Amino acid sequence: MENMVNLKINGKDVSVPAGTTILDAARKAGIRIPTLCYLRDINAIGACRVCVVEVKGARSLVASCVYPVAEGMEVTTNSKRVLSSRKTTVELLLSDHNQDCLHCVRSGNCELQTLSTEMGCESGKFSGETNKFDIDFSTPYLVRDNNKCILCRRCVAACKYYQGVSVIGANSRGFDTHIGCSFEKNLSEVDCVACGQCINVCPTGALREREEIDDVIAALNDPSKYVIFGTAPATRVGIGEEFGYPVGSNCQGKMVAAIKALGADEVFDVDFTADLTIMEEGTEFLNRVKEGGVLPMMTSCSPAWIKFVEHNYPELIPNLSTCKSPQQMFGAIVKTYYAEKIGKDPKDIVVVSVMPCTAKKFEKNRPEMAAAGVPDIDYVLTTRELARLIKKNGIMFNELEDAEYDLPLGIASGAGLIFGVTGGVMEAALRTVREILENKSYGKIDFTDVRGAKGIKEATYNIAGIDVKVAVASGLANARILCDQIKEGKSPYHFIEIMSCPGGCVNGGGQPIKTADVRNNTDYRALRTNAIYDTDEKMKLRKSHDNPIIKELYETYLGEPNGHKSHAILHTKYIARSKY
C-alpha cells in the first residue's frame, strides 16, 4: 500500500504519495504552478526559479519542481511574496533577452512571452549590459540564437537523455554562461545528428529549424517549374494542432486541400514510397537471411539515426539497410519513373517534401541522393513550416473541403501509414515478409508486440518455420544500447528498427511544439499515435505488397525488388564520419 502524505496547499487539504513534489501535488489540487526549466523525467533542476512557492516555516521560497511534500506541510502558491518573486525573475530574464517578438517564429507559442503577459511584466524594468551572441547558421537544418536563450537547459537534457548524443551544454560561468558546443564549435562541427528534439523542448525562439518557405514560394511562382509535394505519414496527425484542432486529429484531407490551394501542380503521399521501402527492405532482409548476409539488419528510414551510426558506430554501417528513406525514394521515383511518365525533364521538376523531421533537411543534401543526376528532393518543409506557409498565403485551413491525393503516387497502404510511429516500420515489414515467405494471405495482420511507447521492444515470430527475433527502439539513447550489443557480439536479433525520436516520427523534431505544461501532463505522443493506428485499421489496403501502383511500378519500370534498376534508383551507401 502506498504511503500517503497529507498537506495543505492554499488552505486546501491534499493527499499524495510520499516523494511527490509540491508542483505535482498542486496540480492534483487543481492549481497550476508556472515553470520554465522543468521537464518531467529529464530536467528537474530548479534552476529558473519561476515555480517558487512559500512553505510555512521555510526561510526562503522553494522551487516546487524539486521540493518533496512532507506530512503536515502548508504551502502557499499565490502569496504576494511568491507572485512578486516570479514577476521579478521573468523580468530579469527579459532584461537579457532579444525581445524582437514581432519577427520571432515562436511568437504566440513562446513560454517566456506567455508568462510575461500573465504576470504583467515590464520589459524595460531592468537595464544594463546585455549579452550579444553570433547566430549559428552553420547547418542546413537548425538555427541557434543564444540571444533568445534563457538558460533553462531543456535542450541540453533532451540531447543527453532522449538521444544520448550530448553535443551541447553550458559554457562559461556567471553572466557569460551560454549554451554551446565543446570549444565553442558551431553545430556543423560536432556530431549533432539533426534530430531537432532540442527545438521541440525549447521554450523560446533560441532554437528553430532552418526555414525553406521562401524557396518553396519562389518555386511555386516560377512558371518553368513543375512543383510536386509529398507528405509524410506523421504530418497528417500533427498539422491540425497548428490550426486549433485537438491533438490526435487526422487532418489529411484539409492538408492536401491546403497544399493544392498553394498552387502545387500535384500532391502525392510519401506513404506510397513507404510501401516501396517495405518491398525493397523486406527483400533485402530475406536475401541476407538466405545468403548469410550481415545480421542483424537495421532499418535506414531515419536520417538522424543514420548520422548517429556514421559518427558513433561506423563499424556497424554494414548492418544498415542500403535502402534510401521513403522521402528520398519519393524524390527518386518522381524524377525518374514519373518524370518519364509525364514527359518532364527532371531538372524542371521541383520536389517539396513535408516532413515531421528536421534531419530530412540534412538528408536531402547528401550528394549520393541524386538518382536522376539532380537532387532527389529539392526542399523540405517541417509540419510547422507548412502551417506557416498556409497562414502566410491567407488560406483558411479550417474552412477547406477535404481533398484527395493525386494519382498515381497518392495510393498507399496502412502499412505505409504506420511508418509514422515507433514499431511501424517493423510491423509493416512483418506484414509483407510473412506473406511472401509463406505464400499465404492472412486476415489478421497486426503485430502488436512491436507497438507502444516503451523505449526498446522485442519479439520473436515464427515465419515459414524460422524464429525471427526482432527489436524496436525509439530515441537514440535506446538505440545506443542495441548498438553496443551488436558491437560486443551479444545481439540475439535478426532485424532491428530504430527511430531517432522518442515515440517515432509523430514526435519528430519538425512537429508542432507543445509547451512544457502539455509535455509534462498530457500523453500527446499517444494521441497522435492512436490516430495513425485508428486510420490504418479502417483502411481496405493495409499491406505494402498489395498496393496496385507498387505492383505496376515493378512490372513496368523497376523489374523486381532489389534488382539492378531498383538498386540504382532506390538504394544508397553510408560513410564513416568523424567523432569530433
d(CA 113, CA 201): 15
d(CA 462, CA 410): 33
For the record, the C-alpha cell of 174 comes out as: 556567471
Among the listed residues 505, 514, 544, 566, the single catalytic one is 505
Among the listed residues 71, 74, 368, 537, the single catalytic one is 368
Among the listed residues 281, 310, 385, 427, the single catalytic one is 281
Among the listed residues 54, 242, 266, 284, the single catalytic one is 284
Active site residue 266: no
Among the listed residues 101, 195, 301, 323, the single catalytic one is 301
Active site residue 321: yes
Q: Is 308:479 a contact under the CB 8 Å cutoff?
A: yes
Q: How many residues does the chain have?
A: 580
Active site residue 111: no
Active site residue 401: no
d(CA 82, CA 97): 23
Question: Given the C-alpha cell 536531402, which residue does it identify?
Answer: 364
Among the listed residues 321, 353, 491, 544, the single catalytic one is 321
Q: Is 141:359 a contact under the CB 8 Å cutoff?
A: yes
Beta strands of 356-454 (E only): which ranges?
A: 379-382
The helix (run of H) or strand (run of E) holding residue 143 is: strand 142-144
Among the listed residues 111, 242, 363, 427, the single catalytic one is 363
236: number of CA atoms within 13 Å, CB side? 31
Nearest Cα to Cα of residue 230 among 272, 177, 194, 178: 272
Q: What is the CA radius of gyration of the chain?
A: 25
d(CA 146, CA 155): 12
Active site residue 505: yes
d(CA 163, CA 481): 11
DSSP type of residue 323: B
Question: Given the C-alpha cell 517493423, which residue does it identify?
Answer: 426
82: number of CA atoms within 13 Å, CB side? 18
Active site residue 60: no
d(CA 51, CA 426): 42
d(CA 418, CA 538): 13
Among the listed residues 148, 360, 361, 514, the single catalytic one is 360
Residues designated catalytic: 281, 284, 301, 321, 360, 363, 368, 505
